[in-house]
Structure 1
Amino acid sequence: MRETHRTESAIGPSDPHRTVPCRPADARRRVRCVVAERCEVQHVHCDTDSVDDALLVVSELTTNAMLHGGGITDFSVDVVGGEVRVSVSDRSDDLPVALSPVDAQGRFRVGGRGWPIVCRLAHDVHVACLPCGGKRITALVPLT
């Protein structure tokens, strides 16, 4: 069972059962709920630290979509076996990049740590260009 949430522009008129999180906190809440429900039903042990890793990945992906991708256009979360699969889509065709923490003048940059965090915590990360423009980033985070 997969829970998918889309914006109005992605599915037409507003559907009260399908909404995109407008803040990273909303996405984290949705992940927490789905993980708790699926782990109970599938009898999968959900390690607290691993769930925290999944929540951090979701925070980074949704924040990056808002800051660099023109906003979140689609969001889905599911538990597959012992992993959380999170997908976040945005309006930008630009691929994520990892910047050096120090600029050319040797000054520390503010920000720029989100993508490396996602790549380190997720077991698998996939970036797909969408046919209508934009991209979808899917990350699998182990729960054990």
Structure 2
Amino acid sequence: MCDEHMIESVLGSLGADRDRPCKPAEARRAVERAVAERCRTTRTPCDADALSDALLVVSELTTNAILHGGGVTDFRVDVDGPGVRVSVSDRSDELPVTAPPVDPHGRLRHGGHGWPIVCRLSRDVRVADLPAGGKCITAVVPLA
């Protein structure tokens, strides 16, 4: 887990959204639309670097849900004040972990960088157990 972030239980279900993105590219487009709408309505410029961070975080969360969590079961995105909040749910109860850079034989591992990237780029990360099983990971990425 990210040392500075929390794990919590949730009593209510997040519910399923028929149009939820199930692939990283779809999730990135949803984040781009939400951020662009916020910039349009508030008439503030969008920070390209901050948007890139948010797109990387959502890519990592959805990819991890697909590779390690049995697929994306729910997806939410909203722009809240100075940040974008993304929530990705999957079927697995397993918590995210940071894999060591080498295997027990001293060979370099491929991959394993997604969770540290999410933790580094996000202001807040929470992992919540879902009542029907699985988990929801919510990350807030600053937009400024």
1:125, 1:139 within 8 Å by CA — same for their partners in 2? yes
* Aligned structure 1 segments of 4 or more residues deviating by more than 4 angstroms: none
Which 5+ residue runs of structure 1 have no aligned equivalent? Answer: 1-9
Structure 1 vs Structure 2 CA RMSD: 1.3
Give the aligned partner of residue 132 of structure 1: 132
1:91, 1:134 within 8 Å by CA — same for their partners in 2? yes
Question: Alignment partner of 1:110: what SS?
Answer: coil
- Decide whether aligned partners of structure 1 residues 128 and 44 sit closer, same or farther in structure 2, where only a CA change above 3 A counts: farther
Find the aligned partners of 1:39 and 1:103 in 2 and give their Cα distance: 44
- Decide whether aligned partners of structure 1 residues 32 and 130 sit closer, same or farther in structure 2, where only a CA change above 3 A counts: same
Give the aligned partner of residue 95 of structure 2: 95
Q: Which moved more, 1:57-66 or 1:31-40?
A: 31-40
1:45, 1:143 within 8 Å by CA — same for their partners in 2? no
Give the aligned partner of residue 83 of structure 1: 83
- 1:2-28 deviation per Cα after TM superposition (whole angstroms, max 9, x unaligned): xxxxxxxx55xxx8xx31212100100
Identity %: 67
Give the aligned partner of residue 74 of structure 2: 74
Give the aligned partner of residue 3 of structure 1: none
Give the aligned partner of residue 35 of structure 1: 35
Which 5+ residue runs of structure 2 have no aligned equivalent? Answer: 1-14
- TM-score with structure 2 length normalisation? 0.86
Find the aligned partners of 1:45 and 1:25 in 2 and give their Cα distance: 23
Give the aligned partner of residue 48 of structure 2: 48
Structure with greater contact order relative to length (CA < 8 Å, sep ≥ 6): 2
Match status 1:113 vs 2:116: no
- TM-score with structure 1 length normalisation? 0.86
